[in-house]
Amino acid sequence: MEVARSSEEISVSQRKYVLDLLQETGMSGCRPVETPMDPNTKLKPRTEEKPVDKGQYQRLVGRLIYLTHTRPNISFAVSHVSQFLNNPSKDHMEAVTRILMYLKKDLRKGLLFKKTANRLLEIYTDADWAGSPSDRKSTSGYCSYVWGNLVTWRSKKQPVVAHSSAEAEFRALAQGICEGIWLKRLLDNSELASQDQSR
């Protein structure tokens, strides 16, 4: 990871990791795309289609999962392709290739943490209702900001089928609230520890 510091901010990126990944996959000269996933594509489990190299697919997805530590903008797409690790198809590999093409668009993207006067804890949630064509399950997503800085994020398929978009949204909201409660307790404990040390 590359870390750049100043008195006002810290930026974290994996630019070299992305460059190495693109070079190893022969994608260094690929045409960049604007989004990590085609919104019109619905990935399904492989049926009769000829399988792809399972080991290669698993290695690529594993490397993309590692990359989500500094690139939350690919979390949703990586969450989708990781559901087919045991039986990948050509469509799944094409979805992975698209993520790589998206990464080529801006190699410098990463996380930025800066000093702010903001002392709020903010949680944003969303859900993709019945987004999976194979089992009709929804995907939840949330991200949390502490003092104006993104600190946690997650995208994961919900364990049960939601009967409405409202139910899917409420399930995502519940996950976000749990994350917010955990962060609030963590911040409160950190503040108490700082007060004890200053005495």
**79 and 7 together in one domain:** yes
**68 and 49 together in one domain:** yes
Neighbouring CB atoms inside 10 A of 165's CB total 13
- Total domain count, the chain: 2
CATH of residue 174:
3.30.160
Q: Is 6 exposed, middle or buried (0-12, 13-18, 19+ CB in 10 A)?
A: exposed
Residue that terminates a domain, selected from 66, 90, 110: 110
**105 and 136 together in one domain:** no
**55 and 130 together in one domain:** no
pLDDT tens digits, residue range 29-67? Answer: 999 999 999 988 888 887 767 778 999 999 999 999 999
**92 and 170 together in one domain:** no
- Which residue in 113, 135, 140 sits closest to 124, CA to CA? 140
**98 and 137 together in one domain:** no
pLDDT tens digits, residue range 92-128? Answer: 999 999 999 999 998 889 999 999 998 899 999 999 9
Residue that terminates a domain, selected from 89, 110, 131: 110
**92 and 176 together in one domain:** no
Rg (CA), the chain: 19
Single pTM value for the model: 0.85
pLDDT tens digits, residue range 133-155? Answer: 888 999 999 999 999 999 999 99
**22 and 106 together in one domain:** yes
Taking the alpha carbons at both ends of the chain, their separation in whole angstroms is 37
**94 and 128 together in one domain:** no
**6 and 98 together in one domain:** yes
**23 and 52 together in one domain:** yes
Q: Which residues pair with 10 in a beta bridge?
A: 5, 113
Residue that terminates a domain, selected from 93, 110, 127: 110
Neighbouring CB atoms inside 10 A of 144's CB total 20
The domain in which residue 42 lies consists of 2-110
**138 and 157 together in one domain:** yes
Strands 9-13 and 110-114: antiparallel
